[in-house]
Chains A and B, each alone.
Chain A
Amino acid sequence: MGDYIVLIISCIFVNNILLAQFLGNCPFFGTSKKMETAVGMAMAVIFVLVMAGAITWMIYNYLLVPLELTYLRTIAFILVIASLVQFVEMFLKKSIPALYAGLGIFLPLITTNCAVFGACVINIDKEYSFLQALVASFSYAAGFGLALILFAGLRERILLARVPSPLQDTSIALVTAGIVSLSFYAFKGMV
């Protein structure tokens, strides 16, 4: 039990996928201008990453390892994640239209989100068990959401600030992201 708590804390804070591993930066900057979109994106990532983590773990351990094809990991995972997202989109549209409408455009956008792929690869590299992989996937996604929502709040306040014109918009966002990332270094010694 204690192991899992450590795993969760490590994935959310210490090894935050955005601010410590620097994965998924495109949606981080693209959808953090408004709190509303940031929340939508965070929810979509949590949803997809948990599913992708589970499926890719199974593909790897039950297909690629027995066939000694582990070097095909990257291409196989991309294929599977892309199909998964499409499948989930269709499934939600039919079965849970409310959730589908809520996630909206963010669901297909995740097809190209490297944080999802990155988290799946890390699960394999660390040789997690299935349950560990599931928990880690969820925690990475939660960490992604946390960072994204925090950052959206910051950017909404930056809009109200006097920013020198060469630094406006994305430039100041990158600088801010750096500082936020530094502050996450404070978690470094925890685990």
Chain B
Amino acid sequence: MLEPVFISVMALMGIGATCGLVLSVASKVFYVYEDPRIAEVEYFLSGANCGGCGYAGCSAAAVAVVNGQAPPSVCIVAGMESAVAVAGVMGVDPGSAEPLMSKNECTGGDRADNQFLYNGVNSCQALSALYGGQRICSIGCLGQGDCIAACKFNAVHMGPNGFPVVDETKCVGCGACEKACPKNIIRVRTMSERLLHFNQEDDALAPCQQTCPAEIDIPRYIRQIKEGDYEGAVYTIRERNPLLLTCGRVCPHPCEDMCRRGIEDEAVSINQLKRFVADYEMNSGRRLPIPCAPETGKRVAVIGGGPAGLSCAYFLRRLGHSIKIYDMMPKLGGMTRYGIPEYRLPKEVLQWETDGILNLGIEFQGNVRLGIDYTVDSLKNEEGYDAIFMGVGAWKDYKLRAEGEDLKGCFTGIDFLTRFASHQQGDSPDDVPVGKKCVVIGGGNTAIDCVRTLVRLGADEVSIVYRRTRKEMPANMVEIEAAEHEGVQFHFLAAPVKAIGDDQGHVKQLEYLKMELGEPDASGRRRPVPIEGSETLMDIDMLITAIGQGPDVSFLEKEAAIKDLEITRWSTIDANPETLQTNIPYVFAAGDAQTGASLVVEAIGGGRRAARAIHLYLNDEDVTPIPKSLRKKHIPESLFESVDGIILIKRTPMPEMPVAERIKTFEEADLVISETDAGRESNRCLNCCRICYDKDSCAA
């Protein structure tokens, strides 16, 4: 009776025991060494084997992490805690545990014309196989929603304008949408990757964005303003430019010169729109939170708290590095604080902006001079910084090299502006004595800043002496016009020869030669030629020379470690224009110190470019130039020549304080446009290139 049961049990046990024995022997015989960390890493992954990470199961993902092919944040299900735990096992910095986020690069727009009628299946893959899509725009979104179908987390939906919108709260960064998109428009990147992206030849960029030295995504923020999403617009600008209040006021907006609307109509007032949203944030009384990547533990010293230094510090901080800014002046801002007068950029506004940057956790030490209080050597070897950024600016006025320029009552441009600004904001007790009949030599923005400041200080007669004509003046046209309105006299084609002093050594007369225009010189401007015997005397009691400025590199005399730092013959720091790395690998330079006196926005762009190189350097990667870099270049076919069919709409004029009032005060002369005007102005944007530019149904 019991025998068959006994036999069957024994037989099964026999089979089981044999299998177990064979397997255990096999596991010894066929033992393959496996990194023990794989098992540890796998423990922290979700175990769901969902494949959302792109690897075949959790163990494959664990292997990829251990082999360094996947970041610790590989598991899209387990989230941040798992990423930190995995980073702990791997002993890597959790900085790479930054979450990935999908973002639609296409800002959509008014759909472009169709080249042909498409009746095939509703799929981007299929559509792009047919001549790259049916729209005349060959680079934009096809709008069939392959990314929506690919998303397993319902994070992508079709927006009202026919292009997909990503819900950032649902996105886990799995990358399925990016793989599904045949046009490479929807991209999954970490914030750091987005912050460090530079214009490349195969990006779809509007002419304005190609021109902007900071590479701000201009069409995107204009579109956000149009939709009333002012906070979104602020975020868009902050991805490229941390000084939006400053740039919104003082930027000479080279972008607007390339605006395609300007071909038939007036250019879109891009910079006033930037100022509008920047002021909107400031006046709302609430600072929009700025996210930063997890701490990396790397430390960078930023020398110079001007636009280049602030920009570099801001981007490096957002990438997770610890930053300290050193500056010779007591407050942050550099030339924007001490060079740009109060009426163009109120100190209060600048303070609000720099406070916002310091709030990210950046340290600042003012009143310390490079080469006197500290050296690059001491920062590197005593303080132990991993990299050093030099944004020391161009603070040294060029000399006129004329007789009598050291007389009493003679100043140089930057020196005058800085001394006055320091006194005005209470940094320094020394007032600058102002004359009654003042002359400023030079035609640049510094010269104009000097004359407009002098007008406000109550000088009776203020004139500019410039050796060429108004057309050749390098200053911004709006600034020249404003100076004219404020009663400044212009003496063109006049070359100063010498300043003549009185018995007490105080300047009393300026002698100059009259000029005429001759042949064009190397810069394409017609060279002024002196007229023989045309010496003229002018009665003055104050003279400012503002004929240009360059970096002050005298600190190098005190340096041991970087005494070999290469300097160009214009006394700027010689750095690779793409990476901004100098011949000393841990020293990077940007801004006026590297380019020579230039725009604020140029320095901001340089600061970000240097931040990218420093980030690579700190991560022990090769500091290589950006592939297919579009720096200072344009994509030829994007600069289309005709924009027919446009209905002319006047550009919103800049609101200004009346001349009679503004010449008595240092209050801001240019005002911000109203919300209605901002909406109207943003509607003038043609949304070039990035999307379908459709001349028949464009927003005009």
Binding site for B on A (CB under 8 A): 59, 63-64, 67-69, 72, 75-76, 79-80, 83, 86-87, 90-91, 93-95, 104-105, 159-162
Alpha-carbon gap, A69 to B4, bound state (A): 9
Q: Closest 9 interchain pairs by CB?
A: A83-B19, A94-B30, A105-B56, A90-B30, A160-B121, A160-B126, A105-B57, A160-B123, A90-B26
Alpha-carbon gap, A75 to B4, bound state (A): 16
In the complex, which residue of chain B has the Cβ closest to the Cβ of A84? B19
Given A105-B56, A160-B121, do A69 and B30 touch, yes or no (CB 8 Å)?
Answer: no
Hey, what's the 0/1 contact readout for B562-591 against A, CB within 8 Å counting as 1? 000000000000000000000000000000
The reply to whether A69 and B7 form a contact with Cβ atoms under 8 Å apart is yes
In the complex, which residue of chain A has the Cβ closest to the Cβ of B129? A160
In the complex, how many angstroms separate the beta carbon of A40 from the nearest chain B beta carbon? 9
The reply to whether A80 and B19 form a contact with Cβ atoms under 8 Å apart is yes
Alpha-carbon gap, A69 to B32, bound state (A): 38
The reply to whether B23 and A83 form a contact with Cβ atoms under 8 Å apart is yes
In the complex, how many angstroms separate the beta carbon of B70 from the nearest chain A beta carbon? 16
Alpha-carbon gap, A105 to B19, bound state (A): 22
The reply to whether B60 and A83 form a contact with Cβ atoms under 8 Å apart is no
B624 at the interface (CB under 8 A from A): no
In the complex, how many angstroms separate the beta carbon of B568 from the nearest chain A beta carbon? 54
The reply to whether A79 and B8 form a contact with Cβ atoms under 8 Å apart is no
Alpha-carbon gap, A66 to B405, bound state (A): 119
Binding site for A on B (CB under 8 A): 4, 7-8, 11-12, 15-16, 19-20, 22-23, 26-27, 29-32, 49, 56-57, 60, 121-123, 125-126
Alpha-carbon gap, A64 to B15, bound state (A): 11
Alpha-carbon gap, A67 to B122, bound state (A): 63
Q: Inside 8 A of B49's CB, which chain A residues have their CB?
A: 105
Given A67-B7, A69-B8, do A94 and B19 touch, yes or no (CB 8 Å)?
Answer: no
In the complex, which residue of chain A has the Cβ closest to the Cβ of B28? A90
User: Which of A64, A72, A76, A160 has the most chain B CB atoms closer than 10 A to its own CB?
Assistant: A160
Alpha-carbon gap, A51 to B51, bound state (A): 29
Alpha-carbon gap, A104 to B19, bound state (A): 23
Alpha-carbon gap, A104 to B64, bound state (A): 13
Q: Interface on chain A toward B: helix, strand, loop, or mixed SS?
A: helix
The reply to whether A162 and B121 form a contact with Cβ atoms under 8 Å apart is yes
In the complex, which residue of chain B has the Cβ closest to the Cβ of A72? B8
In the complex, which residue of chain B has the Cβ closest to the Cβ of A95? B30
Q: Inside 8 A of A69's CB, which chain B residues have their CB?
A: 7-8, 11
In the complex, which residue of chain A has the Cβ closest to the Cβ of B27? A90
In the complex, how many angstroms separate the beta carbon of A2 from the nearest chain B beta carbon? 37
Q: Inside 8 A of A104's CB, which chain B residues have their CB?
A: 56, 60
In the complex, how many angstroms separate the beta carbon of A47 from the nearest chain B beta carbon? 16
Alpha-carbon gap, A50 to B199, bound state (A): 56
Q: Inside 8 A of B15's CB, which chain A residues have their CB?
A: 59, 63, 76, 79-80
User: Which of B15, B20, B122 has the most chain A CB atoms closer than 10 A to its own CB?
Assistant: B15
In the complex, which residue of chain A has the Cβ closest to the Cβ of B14? A63
Q: Inside 8 A of A83's CB, which chain B residues have their CB?
A: 19-20, 22-23
Q: Inside 8 A of B60's CB, which chain A residues have their CB?
A: 104-105
User: Which of A86, A90, A91, A162 has the most chain B CB atoms closer than 10 A to its own CB?
Assistant: A90
The reply to whether B26 and A87 form a contact with Cβ atoms under 8 Å apart is yes
Q: Inside 8 A of B27's CB, which chain A residues have their CB?
A: 90
In the complex, how many angstroms separate the beta carbon of A27 from the nearest chain B beta carbon? 14
Q: Inside 8 A of B20's CB, which chain A residues have their CB?
A: 83
The reply to whether B23 and A87 form a contact with Cβ atoms under 8 Å apart is yes
Q: Inside 8 A of A93's CB, which chain B residues have their CB?
A: 30, 32
Q: Inside 8 A of A160's CB, which chain B residues have their CB?
A: 121, 123, 125-126
Given A79-B19, A104-B56, do A67 and B11 touch, yes or no (CB 8 Å)?
Answer: yes
Alpha-carbon gap, A76 to B191, bound state (A): 56
Q: Inside 8 A of B8's CB, which chain A residues have their CB?
A: 69, 72
In the complex, how many angstroms separate the beta carbon of A169 from the nearest chain B beta carbon? 9
The reply to whether B31 and A94 form a contact with Cβ atoms under 8 Å apart is yes
Q: Inside 8 A of A87's CB, which chain B residues have their CB?
A: 22-23, 26
Known: A69-B7, A69-B8; 13 extra A-B contacts, CB below 8 A, are A67-B7, A72-B8, A79-B12, A80-B19, A83-B23, A90-B26, A91-B26, A94-B30, A94-B32, A104-B56, A105-B56, A105-B57, A160-B126
Q: Inside 8 A of A79's CB, which chain B residues have their CB?
A: 12, 15-16, 19
- Could you name 6 residue pairs across A and B whose Cβ atoms are closer than 8 Å? A67-B7, A76-B11, A83-B20, A91-B26, A93-B32, A105-B57
Alpha-carbon gap, A93 to B126, bound state (A): 40
Q: Which of A75, A86, A159 contacts B123 (CB 8 A)?
A: A159
Q: Inside 8 A of B125's CB, which chain A residues have their CB?
A: 159-160
The reply to whether B122 and A162 form a contact with Cβ atoms under 8 Å apart is yes
Alpha-carbon gap, A165 to B682, bound state (A): 39
Alpha-carbon gap, A104 to B59, bound state (A): 11
In the complex, which residue of chain B has the Cβ closest to the Cβ of A106? B56
In the complex, how many angstroms separate the beta carbon of A120 from the nearest chain B beta carbon? 15
In the complex, which residue of chain B has the Cβ closest to the Cβ of A82? B19
In the complex, how many angstroms separate the beta carbon of B649 from the nearest chain A beta carbon? 42
Alpha-carbon gap, A79 to B29, bound state (A): 21
In the complex, how many angstroms separate the beta carbon of A87 from the nearest chain B beta carbon? 5
In the complex, how many angstroms separate the beta carbon of A170 from the nearest chain B beta carbon? 14
In the complex, how many angstroms separate the beta carbon of B548 from the nearest chain A beta carbon? 64
In the complex, which residue of chain B has the Cβ closest to the Cβ of A77? B15
Q: Inside 8 A of B7's CB, which chain A residues have their CB?
A: 67, 69
In the complex, how many angstroms separate the beta carbon of B190 from the nearest chain A beta carbon? 27
Alpha-carbon gap, A18 to B11, bound state (A): 33
Alpha-carbon gap, A105 to B59, bound state (A): 9
Q: Inside 8 A of A90's CB, which chain B residues have their CB?
A: 23, 26-27, 30
Q: Inside 8 A of B126's CB, which chain A residues have their CB?
A: 160
In the complex, how many angstroms separate the beta carbon of B202 from the nearest chain A beta carbon? 27
In the complex, which residue of chain A has the Cβ closest to the Cβ of B149? A159
Q: Inside 8 A of A75's CB, which chain B residues have their CB?
A: 12
Q: Inside 8 A of B57's CB, which chain A residues have their CB?
A: 105
In the complex, how many angstroms separate the beta carbon of B34 from the nearest chain A beta carbon? 9
In the complex, how many angstroms separate the beta carbon of B206 from the nearest chain A beta carbon? 33
In the complex, how many angstroms separate the beta carbon of A173 from the nearest chain B beta carbon? 15
In the complex, which residue of chain B has the Cβ closest to the Cβ of A157? B121
In the complex, how many angstroms separate the beta carbon of A21 from the nearest chain B beta carbon? 27
Alpha-carbon gap, A8 to B12, bound state (A): 33
Q: Inside 8 A of B32's CB, which chain A residues have their CB?
A: 93-94
Alpha-carbon gap, A75 to B13, bound state (A): 12
In the complex, how many angstroms separate the beta carbon of A95 from the nearest chain B beta carbon? 7
Q: Inside 8 A of B31's CB, which chain A residues have their CB?
A: 94
Alpha-carbon gap, A162 to B4, bound state (A): 61
Q: Inside 8 A of B22's CB, which chain A residues have their CB?
A: 83, 87
In the complex, how many angstroms separate the beta carbon of B644 from the nearest chain A beta carbon? 38
Q: Inside 8 A of A91's CB, which chain B residues have their CB?
A: 26, 30
In the complex, how many angstroms separate the beta carbon of A111 from the nearest chain B beta carbon? 13
User: Which of B4, B19, B49, B125 has the most chain A CB atoms closer than 10 A to its own CB?
Assistant: B19
Alpha-carbon gap, A162 to B26, bound state (A): 51
Alpha-carbon gap, A59 to B30, bound state (A): 24
Alpha-carbon gap, A90 to B32, bound state (A): 9
Q: Inside 8 A of A94's CB, which chain B residues have their CB?
A: 29-32
Alpha-carbon gap, A177 to B4, bound state (A): 45
Q: Which of A76, A159, A161 contacts B12 (CB 8 A)?
A: A76
In the complex, how many angstroms separate the beta carbon of A30 from the nearest chain B beta carbon? 11
Q: Inside 8 A of A67's CB, which chain B residues have their CB?
A: 7, 11
In the complex, how many angstroms separate the beta carbon of A86 from the nearest chain B beta carbon? 6
Alpha-carbon gap, A94 to B31, bound state (A): 7
Alpha-carbon gap, A106 to B363, bound state (A): 54
Alpha-carbon gap, A159 to B123, bound state (A): 8
In the complex, which residue of chain B has the Cβ closest to the Cβ of A169? B149
Alpha-carbon gap, A90 to B15, bound state (A): 20
In the complex, which residue of chain B has the Cβ closest to the Cβ of A90? B30
Alpha-carbon gap, A179 to B237, bound state (A): 56
